[in-house]
Amino acid sequence: MYERILIRYGEISTKGRNRKLFIKKLRENILEVLKDLGNIQINANRDRLHILLRDADADKVIERLKPVFGIQSFSPVVKVDKDIDAMKKAALELMKKTLKRNQTFKVSARRADKSFEYDTNEINYRLGSYILRNTEDLTVDVRNPDININVEVRKEGVYLSNEVIPGATGMPVGTSGKAMLMLSGGIDSPVAGYLTMKRGVDIEAVHFHSPPYTSERAKQKVMDLARKLSVFSGKVRLHIVPFTEIQTVIHGQVPENYTMTSTRRMMLRIADEIRIKNNGLAIVTGESLGQVASQTLESMFAINDITSTPILRPLIAHDKLEIIDIAQKIDTHDISILPYEDCCTIFTPPTPKTKPKKEKVEYYESFVDFDSLIQKAVEGTETLDLGAAEMKAFHDFEDLL
Ligand code: ATP
Ligand code: MG
């Protein structure tokens, strides 16, 4: 029944070139999330973006638009000929589709084409009374209606809509540069990725795995998480780094209570190398202050020392319950709590240092040629592009705001 979907932009506070970039990225991201749904076309202008549905299923398109960042709200639109009877029928059909008990409504007509035989008051009256005659327990309220039917008479036809669906807001992914997300398979890092993407940052995920200590299923789990994040942007690139050798060397060389610190430093060094290769500007982690041994300020100081690249920690001040709450909303929680081993849980010492000293860890590391091990890990990295379009079922993002 719907001919198109009209999209209202989210926070475009900036003008000029930035506005153009916002619209261009939003258009690309929407095309990416909808690409398997049919032969759709997107027309974008300064104030609105129109998705012409053609053969695509409107309900599926609506479901996939809900999580896309950069959309304030959107409305499915019906198009009919400039004929008052066709308009009446379409208006009634729209109302019946969304009707609940005891609602109020109003018709708001606009006429861009002044040659149309009825003026706006007449259109409002004719459509309104037709709806009243053909429905039960609906009343008119012109001041504060539950449902507002917009009717726009244009040269090429008449457009009607009566629903305003809230969008995910935020900024289109890709308008704020690119960062590497250290994605672990736990609860926190997917949430950190989500929050960063909401500010328009394009994310490439980096995951460290240590076969045979970590299983193929653990890798699958991280791929599923990356795919879940792709619904906000269209697709997410995932780099899977072979980390077994480095972890083994650390365990042979570094005193046990410093292995965790050293492991984190090597992860960060590799993530930074991958960032350089892919033109990223920052690294994102799911760290939250005080949560575990590696997340004290002393630890962060000793780990962070290996790079001057900005490290974004969007969860730094969140507590666990808040993080879990977001993880549930974005549908990553149930994947994250699957039990498959993480490379760190296996190698975690019983008593990691909570106040490591950077001079000490540097000294312990100085006996190994980590540069070439890092080089080798970067070269052995497997890169996958994971897309929203491949996902079978979409989560209901109704209360994401
Ligand atoms: P998460 O829930 O994200 O796993 P966590 O509370 O378990 O976090 P840590 O294990 O200390 O905390 O990890 C801190 C951060 O380090 C993670 O949020 C993630 O960004 C990164 N990280 C940890 N393990 C890995 C891994 N195997 N691959 C990539 N990044 C990792
Ligand atoms: Mg973890």
Q: Which of 219-228, 260-269, 284-293, 371-380 has the lowest mean pLDDT?
A: 284-293
184 lines ligand 1 (CB under 6 A): yes
328 is in an annotated binding site: no
Q: Residue whose CA is closest, atom 20 of ligand 1?
A: 285
The pLDDT assigned to 13 comes to: 56
Q: Which amino acid appears at position 356 of this protein?
A: P
- As a dihedral over the C-alpha atoms of residue 106, residue 112, residue 116, residue 119, rounded to 10 degrees, the angle is 40
Of residues 213, 173, 175, the one with CA closest to residue 195: 173
The atom number, within ligand 1, closest to the CA of 343 reads: 27
Task: Provide the pLDDT confidence category of residue 65 given band limits of 50, 70 and 90.
Answer: very high
Average pLDDT of the chain is 93
Closest CA to ligand 1's atom 11: 294
Q: How far apart are CA 52 and CA 77, in angstroms?
A: 10
Question: Separation of 314 CA from ligand 2 center, angstroms?
Answer: 16
As given in the structure block, the two tokens for residue 142 are: 């012109």
Residue 84 makes CB contacts below 8 A (sequence gap 6+) with 117, 118, 123, 126
Mean pLDDT of 232-247: 96
In terms of DSSP bridges, do strands 165-169 and 71-80 run parallel, antiparallel, or are they unpaired?
A: antiparallel
Contact between residue 286 and residue 192 where contact means Cβ atoms under 8 Å apart = yes
Hey, is 318 helix, strand or coil?
coil
293 CB near ligand 1 (under 6 Å): no
Q: Which ligand is nearest to the CA of 299?
A: 1
Report the pLDDT averaged over residues 2-10. Answer: 93
Residue 290: which pLDDT band, with cuts at 50, 70 and 90? confident
Burial label, 308 (beta-carbon count in 10 A; 0-12, 13-18, 19+): exposed
**Ligand 1 proximity of 299 Cβ (cutoff 6 Å):** no
Q: Which residues contact 143 (CB under 8 A, 6 or more apart)?
A: none
What per-residue confidence (pLDDT) applies to 15? 61
327 CA from centroid of ligand 1 (Å): 15
264 is in an annotated binding site: yes
pLDDT per position as a tens digit, 343-379:
666 677 778 888 999 999 999 999 999 999 999 999 9
Give distance in angstroms: CA of 217 to centre of ligand 2: 16
Q: Is 294 in the pocket of ligand 1 (CB under 6 A)?
A: yes
- 293 Cβ contact list (under 8 Å, min separation 6): 260, 299, 352, 353, 354
- Residue 394 pLDDT > 70: yes
The mean pLDDT value for 87-107 works out to 93
Centroid of ligand 1 to alpha carbon of 289 (angstroms): 13
User: Quick check: CB of 189 below 6 Å from ligand 1?
Assistant: yes
pTM for the model: 0.91
Q: Which two tokens stand for residue 217?
A: 């299923």
Give the amino acid at 25. Answer: K
**Mean pLDDT to the nearest integer, 54-71:** 95
Query: 281: CA distance to ligand 1 center in Å?
Result: 20
CA of 291, closest atom in ligand 1: 6
Q: Which of 180, 181, 183, 189 to mutate to test the pocket of ligand 1 (most atoms within 8 A of CB)?
A: 189
* Closest atom, ligand 1, to C-alpha of 190: 3
pLDDT in tens, 292-351: 767 899 999 999 999 999 999 999 999 999 999 999 999 999 999 998 777 666 677 778
Q: Counting ligands in written order, which one lies closest to the CA of residue 283?
A: 1
Measured from the CA of 264, which atom of ligand 1 is nearest?
16
Can you list the positions of beta strands (E) in 162-248? 165-169, 178-182, 202-209, 235-242
What phi-psi label fits residue 70: left (phi over 0), alpha (psi between -120 and 50 degrees) or beta?
left
Q: Is 22 in the pocket of ligand 1 (CB under 6 A)?
A: no
Ligand 1 centroid to residue 207 C-alpha, Å: 9
Q: Pick the residue with more confidence: 19 or 207?
A: 207
Ligand showing the shortest atom-to-Cα distance for residue 187: 1
